[in-house]
Structure 1
Amino acid sequence: MGYIRIDKAGPTREQQEAALRAAGVDDFTAMGPVYVDEAPPRRAKPGADVTPARTDALRALREGDELAIHSPARLGSTRADVLLALQAIGEAGASIYDCASGQVVTVHPDAAKAIGFAAEAESQGQKERAAKARRGVTRHAGPPAALKGAALARAGDAWANPELSAEQVAEQVKASVSTLYRRFGNREAYMLKRGVKP
């Protein structure tokens, strides 16, 4: 079986057909084993299946079948989309033939789930780190946008207060300890500079 997905950025239909022919798929008639998704409309309806031919191809797969594609990007447009397709292929007991590399990829159904889980974990971790960075509590964020003017002066006063730990100062001014060290330097030296006994 073959699958062709056309979009503006990818290879043309002719290029994809040539790759499938080289792989031994040569019936491109309406009754042939090749499923074709044309470029989706610019504004697809929410929830619409933008790859209906691929959906049909995945449903038609049987154990031992190979689904030939021009190259990996033709299987789907996002990692999550490709993982869902791979999971369906694995559950059917089928495999993918990548014309670009000449490799047959067999997917255990649980492998796609595991990869999807790892991808989701990575995505959530990035979102959590980005949220912390926006709040100015990670070292990657640099000085928070709010640590300016009067807020910067208050942070300096707190940094020079020997009754507060570095962590307490950081919590109080909503900045990380490393940010405060970068902004004000060593606490004892800063206290001495401000005329405060450490």
Structure 2
Amino acid sequence: MRGKFITFEGIDGAGKSTHIESVRAFLAARGKTVVMTREPGGTELGEAIRGLFLDRSMSPASEALLVFAARREHLERVVWPALERGDWVLCDRFTDATFAYQGGGREMGFDRIQVLADWVHPGFAPDLTLLFDLPPDAAHDRVAHRGELDRIESEVSDFHVRVRDAYLRRAAAEPDRIKVLSSDQSKETVRSRVLACAMQLLGSAE
């Protein structure tokens, strides 16, 4: 039986990374083999691209092309083989992030991002996307406590507002796949909702 692909999305500081481990433990306790990965990254080439992406100034188009290059490598070497084995894959960001950050934040628009998505992974999408939502000002306060910020985290507030708006537009267009989780609640409350979503997907797969 084919595995399931769950992605975790949200603006920087929204808390998505906190809950990936909870879902891994939940699935592992129920006998599932789980692969945890991230984008950009997940492969040797992808991690090299991640370093360029986060540290080097470049055009919005170059950003989009780089992340899709890393994504194709990631899919072929990690995600698709794992799903074929029946594993469950948990991924920190996927194509929704490119729609949000480059399409919305960089104001490239969604049409060109969709062309790249259709070329790199035609007909393929996550089985479930958990979108952790938080107002940009609150998210920035969380990120600021981490120390030095990368160039994406350092963008002006308006950029992060556009990113959040793009994410919410994606969620409104695909409510069955993308579940919006308000991150301004307690971690325990958010975790409960996250695991409820995972439970629902698990039930549908059995």
Larger relative contact order (CA 8 Å, sep ≥ 6):
2
Give the greater-gyration-radius structure (CA). 1
Q: TM-score, normalised by structure 2?
A: 0.29
Higher percent of residues as helix = 2
Q: State the TM-score, normalizing by the size of structure 1.
A: 0.30
